[in-house]
A = this chain, B = another copy of it.
Amino acid sequence: MDDPQRRRSGGRAARQALRLASHAEHVPFLTRKLAPFEVLGEEGLSLIEHNADTILEEVGVEFRGDAEALRLLAAAGADVEGVRVRFPRGMCRQIVQASAPRQYTQYARNPERNVEIGGMHTVFVPNYGSPFVRDLDGGRRYGTIEDFRNLVKLTYMSPYLHHSGGTVCEPVDVPVNKRHLDMVYSHIRYSDKPFMGSVTAPERARDTVEMARLTFGADYLEDHAVITSLINANSPLVWDSVMLGAARAYAEANQATLLTPFILAGAMAPVTAAGVCAQTLAEALAGMTFVQLTRPGAPVILGSFASSMSMQSGAPTFGTPEPALVLYVMAALARRLGVPFRSGGSLCGSKIADAQAAYESAATLQPTVLGGVNFVLHAAGWLEGGLTVGYEKFILDADQCGMMAVFVDGVDMSENGQALDAIRQNEPGTHYLGSAHTLANFETAFYRSDVTDNNSFEQWQEDGSLDAAQRANRIWKKMLAEYEAPPIDPAVDEALLDFIARRKASMPDSEV
């Protein structure tokens, strides 16, 4: 899947999608013109790689409740004792580098929405996993399937988000064992951007694959990644049976997985950045090795989710300098390994879309972009350490993502960009507002935000003295009011609904 230009024909859905392509405004995924920012040199990075190998060799990683995983790993040369797997130095790196693609295309049902994951590209993906939602009108409450659909619709309409995401919120009003069906359907039906699959049980991952086959055509999946799914480690140094089962389901269908150690430094790993990085690399390497042994060539993303901790309360903290350093190091390690990288987002600990939320989110999103993250989960909406997704926060974050797309384009050094003739023709002390160069570049010179208020104080007062969250509140309501679903082949829709009905009827409701 290394070549984005590989054949895209063959799938029924791909052809349908071309035919049905909707016209929602969008800005393509980012393609950086800027080299990533680095915080460690060769020596430091090598040392962390060495330490990761030491961890894999001496301590090892536990693969729990999955005899098949243990068998596979032993057959590939690992030392297996009970559920503990120790890897000879270099083994994981060799296996991953032998078959994992450096970059892959995730195909969407609208080919205009296909995204490139890896290399110089950055894809923004919304919030994931929050049981609560918040908006200025309703406050904080459990998420519902209606909230889920709303967030999918807002993501579809946002020109700055490139991917529909996965569990954009938990639809708590739907039984746990059936939720995934409604979630995956919502992504397919209410958006045409690429999406993520269920990972809460292996059979739910298989349901996701099945629904993707109904949408794209069964054969299509064999050589097109249409699902990218989040597989979290149970840090420190454990992969559990649910995650391994879900990863296997996707890998067997040649679909992509994000192997992500989720680390609250000081709790799931040492408190120090270099320690967090070595352990993260070890855990991710072990997970990616399992996937590559299961299906060589199935796309994998090296994930890193690291947060600092309040030493007073033990609560996770975000937007602090320590996780930013971890992010920059892990991004460099992923580049050296040669796999796409996932980290960052618009993370914060704040309960509401206030200055704390924005400072913390920006202090995560800037390193995300400057470090060269490829797959940015939680790019919009995250509040309260991920417990809540906020409608207003979503709008504010997406606007920041839009700015990032401009930033990574770098400095225009064309003659028009240099503007030397404009300066030559402009007398000292005379303004440029009416100059031909200004007029010619007027429309595209600067990023235009719909959320920020740059009017005079008096005008702002006259407009109601709204804060950013209040303006965002108006924007998401307007977007939902104007939402139009992208077209879908009625036969596909019917097949999906039929599949869901049958699956739901096949089992009683369950809250696990």
Which of the candidate stretches A145-153, A197-205, A210-218, A264-272 sits at the interface with the other chain? A264-272
Roughly how many angstroms separate A273 CA and B409 CA in the complex, as a whole number?
Answer: 12
A456 surroundings in chain B (CB, below 8 A): 315
Roughly how many angstroms separate A388 CA and B55 CA in the complex, as a whole number?
Answer: 54
Given contacts A413-B47, A469-B354, contact A311 B275 (CB under 8 A): no
Roughly how many angstroms separate A325 CA and B32 CA in the complex, as a whole number?
Answer: 13
| CB atoms of A320 and B447 under 8 A apart | yes
Q: How far is the CB of A48 from chain B (nearest CB, A)?
A: 8
A442 surroundings in chain B (CB, below 8 A): 271, 311
> Could you mark each residue 312-342 of chain A with 1 if its beta carbon is under 8 Å from any beta carbon of chain B, else 0?
1111110111101100010000000000000
| CB atoms of A266 and B363 under 8 A apart | no
Which of the candidate stretches A425-433, A476-484, A501-509 sits at the interface with the other chain? A425-433
> Could you mark each residue 390-421 of chain A with 1 if its beta carbon is under 8 Å from any beta carbon of chain B, else 0?
00010010001001101100111100111110
Tell yes or no: A453 within 8 A of B by CB. Answer: yes
A322 surroundings in chain B (CB, below 8 A): 406, 445-447
Q: How far is the CB of A281 from chain B (nearest CB, A)?
A: 12
| CB atoms of B433 and A314 under 8 A apart | yes
Of the candidates B267, B360, B423, which one forms a contact with A433 in the assembled complex, judged by CB atoms under 8 Å apart? Answer: B267
| CB atoms of B417 and A274 under 8 A apart | yes
| CB atoms of A317 and B387 under 8 A apart | no
| CB atoms of B356 and A467 under 8 A apart | yes
Roughly how many angstroms separate A455 CA and B314 CA in the complex, as a whole number?
Answer: 9
Which of the candidate stretches A185-193, A220-228, A232-240 sits at the interface with the other chain? A232-240
A47 surroundings in chain B (CB, below 8 A): 413, 418
Tell yes or no: A59 within 8 A of B by CB. Answer: yes
A423 surroundings in chain B (CB, below 8 A): 55, 59, 236, 269-270, 275, 278-279
Tell yes or no: A288 within 8 A of B by CB. Answer: no
Q: How far is the CB of A37 from chain B (nearest CB, A)?
A: 5
Tell yes or no: A468 within 8 A of B by CB. Answer: yes
A352 surroundings in chain B (CB, below 8 A): 467
Roughly how many angstroms separate A317 CA and B309 CA in the complex, as a whole number?
Answer: 35
Q: Considering residues A140, A355, A388, which has the most beta carbons from chain B within 10 angstroms of its beta carbon?
A: A355
> Could you mark each residue 429-471 of chain A with 1 if its beta carbon is under 8 Å from any beta carbon of chain B, else 0?
1111101011001110111110111111100100001011100
Copies assembled = 2
Roughly how many angstroms separate A311 CA and B274 CA in the complex, as a whole number?
Answer: 46
| CB atoms of A265 and B452 under 8 A apart | no
Of the candidates B39, B62, B271, B443, which one forms a contact with A446 in the assembled complex, judged by CB atoms under 8 Å apart? Answer: B271
Q: How far is the CB of A459 from chain B (nearest CB, A)?
A: 8
Tell yes or no: A261 within 8 A of B by CB. Answer: no
Of the candidates B272, B388, B467, which one forms a contact with A445 in the assembled complex, judged by CB atoms under 8 Å apart? Answer: B272
| CB atoms of B454 and A310 under 8 A apart | yes
Tell yes or no: A106 within 8 A of B by CB. Answer: no
A275 surroundings in chain B (CB, below 8 A): 417-420, 422-423, 437
Roughly how many angstroms separate A447 CA and B309 CA in the complex, as a whole number?
Answer: 9
| CB atoms of B428 and A236 under 8 A apart | yes
Tell yes or no: A97 within 8 A of B by CB. Answer: no
A329 surroundings in chain B (CB, below 8 A): 411
Tell yes or no: A496 within 8 A of B by CB. Answer: no
| CB atoms of A60 and B273 under 8 A apart | no
| CB atoms of B58 and A272 under 8 A apart | no
Tell yes or no: A295 within 8 A of B by CB. Answer: no
Q: Considering residues A270, A273, A366, which has the most beta carbons from chain B within 10 angstroms of its beta carbon?
A: A270
Tell yes or no: A51 within 8 A of B by CB. Answer: yes
> Could you mark each residue 161-178 of chain A with 1 if its beta carbon is under 8 Å from any beta carbon of chain B, else 0?
000000000000000000
Given contacts A354-B467, A362-B358, contact A270 B429 (CB under 8 A): no
Tell yes or no: A40 within 8 A of B by CB. Answer: yes
Across the A-B interface, give the 8 residue pairs with the lowest CB-CB distance, nearest first.
A275-B419, A362-B362, A358-B358, A270-B419, A237-B428, A321-B407, A356-B468, A271-B445
Residues of A within 8 A of B (CB): 34-35, 37-40, 44, 47-48, 51, 54-55, 58-62, 84, 140, 234, 236-238, 265-275, 277-279, 308-317, 319-322, 324-325, 329, 349-363, 366, 370, 384-385, 387-388, 393, 396, 400, 403-404, 406-407, 410-413, 416-420, 422-424, 426, 428-433, 435, 437-438, 441-443, 445-449, 451-457, 460, 465, 467-469
- Other than the known A237-B429, A274-B417, A358-B358, what 12 A-B pairs have Cβ atoms closer than 8 Å? A236-B426, A236-B429, A236-B431, A270-B432, A270-B437, A270-B438, A271-B438, A272-B412, A311-B446, A355-B355, A359-B359, A366-B366
A–B pairs, 7, beta carbons within 8 Å = A54-B420, A236-B428, A272-B437, A325-B411, A350-B452, A351-B453, A358-B358
